[in-house]
A and B are shown apart, each in its own frame.
Chain A
Amino acid sequence: DADVTQTPRNRITKTGKRIMLECSQTKGHDRMYWYRQDPGLGLRLIYYSFDVKDINKGEISDGYSVSRQAQAKFSLSLESAIPNQTALYFCATSDPRRTATDTQYFGPGTRLTVL
């Protein structure tokens, strides 16, 4: 089984709808992240969480919110989806206590299309 899973893998929705993307991990890592990737571009950080009680904005948090329900679960919500939020979304985890470089482990991604 994959260490970092994302659901759904693909989602098509309409403008104005509320959408939740979910991420679960079995790695036992404290840190979790949400990134988005647009065609031809690198990944941009949306939100990150260092533990269950810690939530921080990344470089592009506007229009998004997150919830850290447990150490293993980190959800990303789009309160009112808009077309320019169409992208590939990745969840990642890390634990600097286990790897000095704080290596990030990524999920398989969720492809979101907002019509």
Chain B
Amino acid sequence: DAKTTQPNSMESNEEEPVHLPCNHSTISGTDYIHWYRQLPSQGPEYVIHGLTSNVNNRMASLAIAEDRKSSTLILHRATLRDAAVYYCILRPRGYNFNKFYFGSGTKLNVKP
């Protein structure tokens, strides 16, 4: 399975943008890039995903490098509620593939 590398932790100030990096140098052409986050005492929740183009949704933006070997999750204005562990995950395109490899993620601390 293609793996991802993320910093163990990051810190941000409230209401400032946050850029969470992820390296995935062994990504294959059929791998989607997914981001999930896990708030304290909760199960993980979906944030965003992309394949080649940058993506935006109500929660975040995803910027994908042209060679697809890295990506960045962007929270435009961090709030205290965004303090969580963020997981960058590769998942092959295909109906029958089963796995999400979560890794250890990046713990984001948001300071008031």
Contacts and interface: CB of A to CB of B under 8 A. Distances in A.
Contacts of B34: 101
A107 B43 CA distance: 6
A101 B91 contact: yes
Given A101-B34, A108-B42, A40 B91 contact: no
Interface in B76-107: 87, 91, 95-96, 98-105
Interface size class on chain A is: 20 to 34
Contact of B43 (A45, A103, A108): A108
28 contacts: A4-B43, A35-B102, A41-B104, A42-B87, A42-B102, A42-B105, A43-B102, A44-B102, A45-B99, A48-B98, A50-B96, A50-B98, A58-B99, A92-B43, A101-B32, A101-B34, A101-B49, A101-B91, A102-B91, A103-B49, A104-B46, A105-B45, A105-B46, A106-B43, A106-B45, A109-B41, A109-B42, A109-B43
A40 B46 CA distance: 20
A74 interface: no
Contact of B103 (A42, A48, A103): A42
Is chain B's binding surface mostly helix, strand, loop or mixed?
loop
Contacts of A109: 41-43
B98 A56 contact: yes
A28 interface: no
A111 to B, nearest CB: 9
Nearest to B85: A42
Contacts of A50: 96, 98
B49 A104 contact: no
Contacts of A107: 43
B40 to A, nearest CB: 11
